[in-house]
Structure 1
Amino acid sequence: MVVRIMGEGQVRLAESHLTALDKLDDELLREMENGDGPGFRSTLQALLAKVRELGEPLPDDSLEPSQLILPSSDATLEEVRELLSDDGLIPG
């Protein structure tokens, strides 16, 4: 699957990694619901770091359709709320 991190680019990520990412996504959702700004920031950074760690960067000139779009590392809590579905940032 292709994942876009807004403002950074795309990575190819094996779907088998979604379980690990989903745990961070659930934590991020809880922190957002509780208005935990510092926790939100820390968990968003951890989620994006894990995607970068597990994914293989695509070339900058590659424009493949993204199956998943994640916010940039400096996104605010409000900006991320706008991206959320009922399942969080990562479906499943």
Structure 2
Amino acid sequence: MHSSSLFSVIQTRGVCCSQTEERAALEGWVRRRSTPQAWTRRCRIILACGEGASNKDVAAQLGSTPQAVGHWRARFVQYRIAGLGDMPLRAAPGW
């Protein structure tokens, strides 16, 4: 698959990104040694999803679980790159 069309093709798996800036940002974080490991893993998941791989295939490739891949894929779909960060926890009802 042509790399510039990476994020324009993700819509088949529920991720749609037409901005090459997002791809460049994700790739940049993966390359930096100073990027926290958790962030790097999330970026790698989204980049692999962008190649059209299933959650199961991405999980096997990156040593993760299909559920974790699905979680980060869904967060990216909903919140874009901001969704890959740690989100505030919801307070328990009644607090």
- TM-score with structure 1 length normalisation? 0.33
More strand by share: 1
Q: Which has the larger radius of gyration?
A: 2
- TM-score with structure 2 length normalisation? 0.32
Relative CO higher for 1 or 2, CA cutoff 8 Å, sep ≥ 6? 1
More helix by share: 2
